[in-house]
């Protein structure tokens, strides 16, 4: 029995070591995910098993030889120590998530408190089994298309209000396996309990169906949501898409291709808005060419999988196809807000894939992106309802809530208010000289005027406006935009001065996207004779002031 306990302890030592420091070569690489995941997610159970083994050994008879006794004790101690480290890492996740959200360079978020969870109670977390709420309504296997895999589930509560926001979840499984019932459940249960409508879909799988069948089906599901989710209490204009692993790839690709008709179903009519409010990528495959600059040794495995089973075309002959399906290569100005969650010990999707995606997003896109990196965390960590999963669920709630807030509409009264420029629009040409905007245009050439103050004409306090102004300045600086401070005043009413920037040498498309991201109804175009008011939604100009 002593030898059996020693062997069990030795295996558990190696398992926990794999979770703490997974191998990248040979047999260690093959075992890194299955062994490391189990050890990383079940450290409490490992200590319980070790204690039970010692209890049995004590009952059976403690080894009489001192050497064997020492080996058993040392191995058992190492097992406990390693798993205590893993337990601490799980409980530290909440602090790490809170820090990462609060330290975001754009629009920091506040992590909800554990006691405010609507469903993720401490005892459910201790069980680690993602039971669904008993009072949750599940509508199974709704057909969203003609194929057998074209089925989706809708989750909601009987008390879910009408026009509720929608969380759309896409399962992972290397594009070759998986099911809508298996993944993301702790997160979806929390959203549903908080009054959201959840949608989870199946999609056609490779190799039976080669790419782009997978993204075509996810896009078809979004079309179904846009057309029919209102019948289930959801708001088709407030959709957040999410997914894990391959599902994180498909969710990100869907979010980044709203203006690309390539994957839209030809037999679906009546959908004009293919956008989502935000995307949550959980350990997603965000780079699809296998470039080792991002993958750090794991790219070859991805390339083999894609070439042989998913795309079924060689990268060397079709590099554009691989870039087209790669979220990293599709980041644009108009990308919606993102939340990226990644484990630092992930041996299927290297952590640098997420880091590089976030860096590229911050360099190119105008919307904010939030990045949470979890130490000692393997791929697919959120399958179980652990303390770490609870922390990341709160992050997804904070993010999704922030991006689905209903935007005011341009009413007739607002239209009238915006129909003419302010009575005074000044541009600072130097620290000691500010001139009328048209005079500035005569000296410097035509320009645009942007502000971040008082979003949607809601009067914010000066401290908040100053913070938003600094954020706008950072965005313009990152995109290399030449700018001068401006101030708009309207002496005819009590509306406060609005500070912003006159921007030069850029396009109206860029200006419009910036105004939209900063929740502005309008922006100005200025030349040497006119100030024109433009709507940020791209519709017809509101009005202009002619100076003769």
Asked whether 163 and 235 are in contact (CB, 8 A), the reply is yes
* Residue 153: strand pairing partners: 200
> Which listed residue (9, 15, 242, 245) is catalytic?
245
Count of beta carbons in the 10 Å neighbourhood of residue 66: 8
* Residue 426: strand pairing partners: 436, 487
Residues near 403 by Cβ (< 8 Å), separated by ≥ 6? 240, 277, 278, 336, 337
Cα–Cα distance for residue pair 403/395, rounded to 1 Å: 13
- Residue 390 bears catalytic tag: no
Asked whether 282 and 243 are in contact (CB, 8 A), the reply is yes
Is residue 244 classed exposed, middle or buried when 0-12, 13-18 and 19+ CB atoms within 10 A define those classes? buried
Cα–Cα distance for residue pair 459/536, rounded to 1 Å: 19
Q: What is the 3-state secondary structure (H, E, C) of 128-172?
A: ECCCCCCCEEEEEEEECCCCCCCEEEEEEECCCCCCEEEEEEECC
Cα–Cα distance for residue pair 546/548, rounded to 1 Å: 6
> Which listed residue (117, 235, 346, 356) is catalytic?
346
> Which listed residue (379, 486, 513, 536) is catalytic?
379
Query: Which contacts (CB < 8 Å, 24+ apart) does range 11-14 have?
Result: 12/39, 12/46, 12/49, 12/50, 12/79, 13/75, 13/78, 13/79, 13/82
- Residue 352 bears catalytic tag: no
Cα–Cα distance for residue pair 217/177, rounded to 1 Å: 15
Q: Is 36 helix (H, G, I), strand (E, B) or coil?
A: helix
Tokens of 428: 């600072």
Question: Distance from first CA to last CA of the chain, Å, rounded?
Answer: 100
- Residue 379 bears catalytic tag: yes
Distances in whole angstroms, Cα of residue 206 to Cα of each of 144, 213, 411: 19, 8, 49
Helix axes 2-20, 66-102, angle to 10 degrees: 20
Any idea what DSSP says for residue 500?
Answer: E
Closest to 401 in 3D by CA, of 393, 391, 413, 409: 393
Cα–Cα distance for residue pair 145/142, rounded to 1 Å: 9
Is residue 494 classed exposed, middle or buried when 0-12, 13-18 and 19+ CB atoms within 10 A define those classes? exposed
Distances in whole angstroms, Cα of residue 178 to Cα of each of 56, 143, 183, 280: 39, 18, 8, 19
Alpha-carbon Rg of the chain, whole angstroms? 27
Planar angle of CA 157, 146, 238, nearest 5 degrees: 40
User: Dihedral sign, CA of 23, 298, 284, 142?
Assistant: negative
The catalytic residues are 245, 346, 379
């Amino acid at each position: 029995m002593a030898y059996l306990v020693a062997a069990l302890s030795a295996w558990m030592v190696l398992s926990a070591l794999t979770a703490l420091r997974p191998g990248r070569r040979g047999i260690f690489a093959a075992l890194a995910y299955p062994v490391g995941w189990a050890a990383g997610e079940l450290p409490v159970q490992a200590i319980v098993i070790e204690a039970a083994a010692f209890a049995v050994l004590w009952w059976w008879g403690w080894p009489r030889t001192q050497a064997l006794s020492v080996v058993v004790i040392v191995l058992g101690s190492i097992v406990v120590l390693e798993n205590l480290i893993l337990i601490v890492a799980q409980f530290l996740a909440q602090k790490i998530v809170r820090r990462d959200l609060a330290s975001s360079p754009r629009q920091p978020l506040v992590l909800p408190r554990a006691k405010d969870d609507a469903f993720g109670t401490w005892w459910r977390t201790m069980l680690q089994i993602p039971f669904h709420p008993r009072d949750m309504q599940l509508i199974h296997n709704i057909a969203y298309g003609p194929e057998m895999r074209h089925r989706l589930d809708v989750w909601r509560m009987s008390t879910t209000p009408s026009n509720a926001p929608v969380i759309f979840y896409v399962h992972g499984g290397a594009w070759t396996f998986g099911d809508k019932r298996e993944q993301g459940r702790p997160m979806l249960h929390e959203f549903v309990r908080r009054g959201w409508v959840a949608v989870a879909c199946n999609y056609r799988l490779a190799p039976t169906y080669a790419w782009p069948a997978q993204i075509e089906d996810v896009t078809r599901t979004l079309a179904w949501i846009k057309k029919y989710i209102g019948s289930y209490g959801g708001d088709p204009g407030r959709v957040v898409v999410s997914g894990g692993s391959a599902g994180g790839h498909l969710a990100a690709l869907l979010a980044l291709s709203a203006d690309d008709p390539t994957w839209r179903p030809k037999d679906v009519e009546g959908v004009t808005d293919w956008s989502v409010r935000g995307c949550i990528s959980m350990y997603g495959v965000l780079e699809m060419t296998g470039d080792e600059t991002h993958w750090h040794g794991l790219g070859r495995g991805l390339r083999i999988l894609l070439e042989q089973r998913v795309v079924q075309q060689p990268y060397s002959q079709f590099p554009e196809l691989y870039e087209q399906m790669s979220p990293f290569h599709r980041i644009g100005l108009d990308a919606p807000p993102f939340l990226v969650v990644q484990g630092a010990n992930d041996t299927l999707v290297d952590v640098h894939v997420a880091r590089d995606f976030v860096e590229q997003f911050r360099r190119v896109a105008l919307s904010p992106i939030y990045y949470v990196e979890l130490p000692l965390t393997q791929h697919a960590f959120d399958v179980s309802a652990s303390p770490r999963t609870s922390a990341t669920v709160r992050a997804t709630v904070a993010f999704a809530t922030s991006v689905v807030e209903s935007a005011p509409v341009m009413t007739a009264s607002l239209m009238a208010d915006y129909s003419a420029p302010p009575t005074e629009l000044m541009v600072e040409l130097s620290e000691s000289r500010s001139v009328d905007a048209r005079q500035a245009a005569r000296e410097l050439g035509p320009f645009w005027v942007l502000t971040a103050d008082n979003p949607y004409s809601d009067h914010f306090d000066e401290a908040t406006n100053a913070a938003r102004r600094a954020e706008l300045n950072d965005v313009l600086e990152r995109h290399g935009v030449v700018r001068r401070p401006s101030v708009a005043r309207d002496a005819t009413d009590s509306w406060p001065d609005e500070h912003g920037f006159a921007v030069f040498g850029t396009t109206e498309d860029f200006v419009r996207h910036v105004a939209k991201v900063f929740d502005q109804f309008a922006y100005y175009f200025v030349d040497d004779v006119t100030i024109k008011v433009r709507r940020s939604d791209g519709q017809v100009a509101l009005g202009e002031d002619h100076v003769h």
